[in-house]
Amino acid sequence: MSKVSIPKGMRDFSPQVMAKRNYIFDTIRKSFQLYGFEQIETPTMENRETLTGKYGDEGDSLIFNVLQRGDKLSKALTNTELKAAERENFEDVTFFNRNVSNLADMALRYDLTVPFARYVVQHQNEIAFPFKRYQIQPVWRADRPQKGRYREFYQCDADIIGSESLLNEVELVKLFDEVLSNLGLKSFSIKLNNRKILSGIAEVIGRPEMIIPITVAIDKLDKIGLERVNEELTQRGLTVEELEKIQPLFKIEGSNDEKLAQLAEFLKDSEIGLKGIEETQFILHTINSIGLNTANLEVDVTLARGLDYYTGAIFEVVSNEVKMGSICGGGRYADLTGIFGLKNMSGVGISFGADRIYDVMEELNLFLESSNAVTQVLFINFGEKESAYCMKVLQNLRAKGIRTELYPDAAKMKKQMKYANDKNIPFVVMVGEDEMNSGQLSLKNMESGEQSKVSVEELIDSMV
């Protein structure tokens, strides 16, 4: 007997789980379309050089590589042999990377952003800019699997590329609110920051190169408290004077407008910092004038995701009802396609984390009982003559869009009823000799147990 399992970090999705996942994807897709985004898909495999060097060293090490095939593999193996023989002449990493380049020509998509950038550059002459695209596809990362972290998972991304207008940011904030409200979330916060504000802070302190460690430390304020944040900043090399300068930042509080006013005071000598505040104010005020359904929009200067690539607005969405990391994120990147040679293409995008949204919805019991994917009526099979009769009735029901099936075997009644139960089919129809003669079918409501006689027309009317 072969081993029957799937690779670690990978998942099978049962019909029950698929129905819930599709509900999330359909809701996201519908809103993306409502906002004018168009769908694209890119291949699962990209050329290795398209992906490598785009995600940092750690990211690179998480990329799944695809082995060469046929003659090229034979040749690669021979080369590998050569390289191995030369092994002592190389540091391990070089040896390793050279062999991988040698053995693998393609790699699996690590995210949707880099393939999107590649797509835009490759198809720039066919695209109507600004290009509002969405993409819902799986990505793969050889991360250590753990609760809520998988090696294959879907990303649901919407990006606008080729427009610097902040109205795009406004639209994306609205989109977060729209999708998550439609999914039934009652309390969630969209956190808003701006890379320029963070740059301004590092500039004001006089340590622009320290932007990332400073932000990482600030980010921990809630968790570890002021004292330990200051300790960490000292450890990271801030002088007493620099530490003094940063303190007002930790006291910023109040409404979004109050926070921004205090921040403007703090950043008054930083041009870039003030630019970040201006951008944030525009987004905030425009959103205020049109309103949100459910979301709480909150300026959060400690928000520091994606500092490697974001250049303007930074978004993160968290549920206020379920303790979990961010369920969505996004931001603006001034030069998304530069890596592939197309300069000056500013883009802004967001991503919905379908798996985490699923977990939040499951915990809050937000999935509806009814599903479009479930059979509505099962016909019990009493034998050849009866099933021939039922097949015709089936046909009439399906013509009206009623999801219907006939149990394929004339099995014991108990087994057929169990099947209806297991599959959550709400109605069962029984057609025996009497029913065929009278044309009055026996209909059983599986929930109430109630049984009645109905004509085919009545059956159809009760279902549509």
Applying the rule CB under 8 A, the residues between 246 and 305 that interact with a second copy are: 286, 289-291
The stretch near a second copy (CB under 8 A) out of 116-124, 230-238, 247-255, 450-458 is 116-124
CB of 391 to a second copy, least distance (A): 5
C-beta closer to a second copy: residue 62 or 454: 62
Among 165, 438, 445, 452, binds a second copy (CB under 8 A): 165
The stretch near a second copy (CB under 8 A) out of 252-260, 349-357, 380-388, 448-456 is 380-388
CB of 427 to a second copy, least distance (A): 13
C-beta closer to a second copy: residue 84 or 224: 84
CB of 99 to a second copy, least distance (A): 5
Whether 42 and 115 have beta carbons less than 8 Å apart is answered as yes
Q: Is 168 in the site for a second copy (CB under 8 A)?
A: yes
Q: Is 464 in the site for a second copy (CB under 8 A)?
A: no
Short-list 317, 280, 283, CA closest to 181: 317
Q: Binding string to a second copy for residues 6 to 35, with x set by CB under 8 A, is what?
A: xx--xxxxxx--xx--x----------xxx
Whether 210 and 317 have beta carbons less than 8 Å apart is answered as no
Tell me the C-alpha distance between 230 and 246, whole Å. 9
Quick one: 322 exposed, middle or buried, by C-beta within 10 A (0-12, 13-18, 19+)? middle
Q: Binding to a second copy (CB under 8 A): which residues in 415-434?
A: 418-419, 422-423
Q: Is 449 in the site for a second copy (CB under 8 A)?
A: no
Cβ–Cβ contacts within 10 Å for residue 89, how many?
Answer: 9
Tell me the C-alpha distance between 244 and 229, whole Å. 13
Q: How many residues bind a second copy (CB under 8 A)?
A: 115
Instruction: Supply the Cα-derived Rg of the chain in whole angstroms.
Output: 29
Short-list 328, 277, 39, 309, CA closest to 173: 328
List residues bridging with 287 in a β-sheet: none
CB of 86 to a second copy, least distance (A): 11
Among 24, 103, 197, 345, binds a second copy (CB under 8 A): 103
Question: 90: alpha, beta or left, given left = phi > 0 and alpha = psi -120 to 50?
Answer: beta
Q: Is 128 in the site for a second copy (CB under 8 A)?
A: yes
| Token pair of 86 as six digits | 């030369």
Q: Is 414 in the site for a second copy (CB under 8 A)?
A: no
Q: Binding string to a second copy for residues 54 to 73, with x set by CB under 8 A, is what?
A: -------x--xxxx-xx--x
DSSP 72-132: HHHHHHHHHHHHHHTGGGS-HHHHHHHHHHHHEEEEE-S-SHHHHHHHHHHTTTT--SSEE
Q: Binding to a second copy (CB under 8 A): which residues in 357-376?
A: 372-375
Among 40, 307, 364, 436, binds a second copy (CB under 8 A): 40
CB of 435 to a second copy, least distance (A): 18
Q: Binding to a second copy (CB under 8 A): which residues in 386-405?
A: 387-388, 391-392, 395, 398, 401-405
Q: Is 408 in the site for a second copy (CB under 8 A)?
A: yes
Q: Which residues of 399-432 are buried (b: 16+ CB within 10 A; e: fewer)?
A: eeebebbbbeeeeeeeebbebbeeebbbbbbbbe
C-beta closer to a second copy: residue 269 or 362: 362
Q: Is 240 in the site for a second copy (CB under 8 A)?
A: no
Instruction: State residue 413 phi and psi, 5-degree precision.
Output: -50, -45
Whether 359 and 226 have beta carbons less than 8 Å apart is answered as no
Whether 139 and 110 have beta carbons less than 8 Å apart is answered as yes
Whether the bond between 130 and the residue before it is cis, its omega within 30 degrees of 0, is: yes
C-beta closer to a second copy: residue 364 or 463: 463
Among 25, 59, 90, 100, binds a second copy (CB under 8 A): 100
List residues bridging with 332 in a β-sheet: 348
Q: Is 97 in the site for a second copy (CB under 8 A)?
A: no
C-beta closer to a second copy: residue 126 or 447: 126
The stretch near a second copy (CB under 8 A) out of 87-95, 243-251, 359-367, 426-434 is 87-95
